[in-house]
Homo-oligomer: A and B are copies of this chain.
Amino acid sequence: MDSNICVIADVTADPENADQLGSILRKFAEICRTEPGCLSYDVFRSVEQAERFVSIETYVDAGAFAAHRDSEHFRKVGAGELLPLVVSRNVRTFTGSEPVPPTS
Protein backbone atom coordinates (compact mmCIF):
# COMPACT_ATOMS: atom_id res chain seq x y z
CA MET A 1 0.00 0.00 0.00
CA ASP A 2 2.74 2.50 0.97
CA SER A 3 1.41 5.97 0.12
CA ASN A 4 -1.91 4.61 -1.09
CA ILE A 5 -5.01 5.90 0.65
CA CYS A 6 -7.55 3.43 1.95
CA VAL A 7 -11.02 4.72 2.72
CA ILE A 8 -13.73 3.03 4.75
CA ALA A 9 -16.99 4.84 4.13
CA ASP A 10 -19.78 3.56 6.34
CA VAL A 11 -23.31 4.68 5.49
CA THR A 12 -26.72 3.82 6.88
CA ALA A 13 -30.14 4.41 5.33
CA ASP A 14 -33.62 4.26 6.72
CA PRO A 15 -34.74 0.64 6.30
CA GLU A 16 -37.27 1.53 3.61
CA ASN A 17 -34.53 3.15 1.52
CA ALA A 18 -31.86 0.51 2.05
CA ASP A 19 -32.28 -1.42 -1.20
CA GLN A 20 -32.31 1.79 -3.18
CA LEU A 21 -29.15 2.98 -1.43
CA GLY A 22 -27.49 -0.33 -2.28
CA SER A 23 -28.38 0.04 -5.96
CA ILE A 24 -27.01 3.55 -6.18
CA LEU A 25 -23.86 2.59 -4.30
CA ARG A 26 -23.30 -0.18 -6.79
CA LYS A 27 -23.73 2.21 -9.72
CA PHE A 28 -21.47 4.76 -8.02
CA ALA A 29 -18.77 2.13 -7.48
CA GLU A 30 -18.73 1.30 -11.17
CA ILE A 31 -18.19 4.95 -12.05
CA CYS A 32 -15.53 5.51 -9.39
CA ARG A 33 -13.51 2.52 -10.62
CA THR A 34 -12.96 4.39 -13.88
CA GLU A 35 -11.10 7.22 -12.11
CA PRO A 36 -7.42 7.02 -13.09
CA GLY A 37 -6.28 7.20 -9.45
CA CYS A 38 -8.80 4.71 -8.05
CA LEU A 39 -7.28 1.27 -7.44
CA SER A 40 -10.40 -0.40 -6.07
CA TYR A 41 -13.92 0.49 -5.00
CA ASP A 42 -16.00 -2.26 -3.40
CA VAL A 43 -19.40 -2.04 -1.77
CA PHE A 44 -20.55 -4.38 1.00
CA ARG A 45 -23.77 -4.72 2.97
CA SER A 46 -23.92 -5.59 6.64
CA VAL A 47 -24.99 -9.17 7.36
CA GLU A 48 -26.63 -8.01 10.61
CA GLN A 49 -28.12 -4.62 9.73
CA ALA A 50 -29.44 -4.66 6.17
CA GLU A 51 -29.68 -0.87 6.07
CA ARG A 52 -25.95 -0.47 6.60
CA PHE A 53 -23.34 -0.46 3.83
CA VAL A 54 -19.64 0.10 3.64
CA SER A 55 -17.50 1.14 0.70
CA ILE A 56 -13.85 0.16 0.82
CA GLU A 57 -11.87 2.28 -1.55
CA THR A 58 -8.20 2.59 -2.38
CA TYR A 59 -6.52 5.43 -4.23
CA VAL A 60 -2.97 5.75 -5.45
CA ASP A 61 -2.37 8.79 -3.25
CA ALA A 62 -4.02 11.69 -1.44
CA GLY A 63 -4.29 13.66 -4.69
CA ALA A 64 -6.29 10.85 -6.28
CA PHE A 65 -8.66 10.81 -3.32
CA ALA A 66 -9.04 14.58 -3.55
CA ALA A 67 -9.80 14.22 -7.27
CA HIS A 68 -12.46 11.65 -6.41
CA ARG A 69 -14.16 14.03 -4.02
CA ASP A 70 -13.90 16.84 -6.54
CA SER A 71 -15.33 14.85 -9.45
CA GLU A 72 -18.54 15.53 -11.29
CA HIS A 73 -19.90 12.08 -10.40
CA PHE A 74 -19.16 12.68 -6.72
CA ARG A 75 -21.28 15.83 -6.87
CA LYS A 76 -23.98 14.40 -9.07
CA VAL A 77 -24.33 10.84 -7.77
CA GLY A 78 -22.56 10.99 -4.40
CA ALA A 79 -23.96 14.24 -3.09
CA GLY A 80 -27.02 14.36 -5.34
CA GLU A 81 -28.37 10.80 -5.13
CA LEU A 82 -26.65 9.01 -2.26
CA LEU A 83 -26.49 11.58 0.49
CA PRO A 84 -30.24 12.27 0.55
CA LEU A 85 -30.79 8.59 1.43
CA VAL A 86 -28.11 8.50 4.13
CA VAL A 87 -29.10 8.98 7.76
CA SER A 88 -25.65 8.43 9.24
CA ARG A 89 -22.21 8.37 7.76
CA ASN A 90 -18.66 7.77 8.92
CA VAL A 91 -15.68 8.09 6.63
CA ARG A 92 -12.23 7.02 7.75
CA THR A 93 -9.08 7.30 5.70
CA PHE A 94 -5.84 5.45 6.28
CA THR A 95 -2.40 5.42 4.78
CA GLY A 96 0.12 2.62 4.81
CA SER A 97 -1.23 -0.77 5.77
CA GLU A 98 0.92 -2.94 7.98
CA PRO A 99 1.64 -6.58 7.25
CA VAL A 100 -0.16 -9.21 9.26
CA PRO A 101 1.63 -12.52 9.72
CA PRO A 102 -0.28 -15.42 8.20
CA THR A 103 -2.39 -17.61 10.44
CA SER A 104 -0.89 -21.00 10.92
Contacts and interface: CB of A to CB of B under 8 A. Distances in A.
B91 A94 contact: no
B48 A54 contact: no
Contacts of A95: 94, 98
A78 B53 contact: no
Interface of A: 1, 6-8, 10, 22, 25-26, 29, 42-48, 52-54, 56, 69, 74, 78-79, 83, 91-100, 103-104
Given A92-B97, A100-B92, A25 B44 contact: no
Closest 3 CB pairs of A and B: A44-B44, A94-B94, A92-B97
B44 A92 contact: no
Nearest to A74: B103
Contact of A94 (B44, B54, B96): B96
Contact of A83 (B25, B46, B99, B103): B103
Give the most central of A47, A54, A93: most B CB within 10 Å: A47
Given A8-B56, A92-B97, 6 more contacts: A25-B47, A26-B48, A42-B46, A78-B103, A93-B97, A94-B97
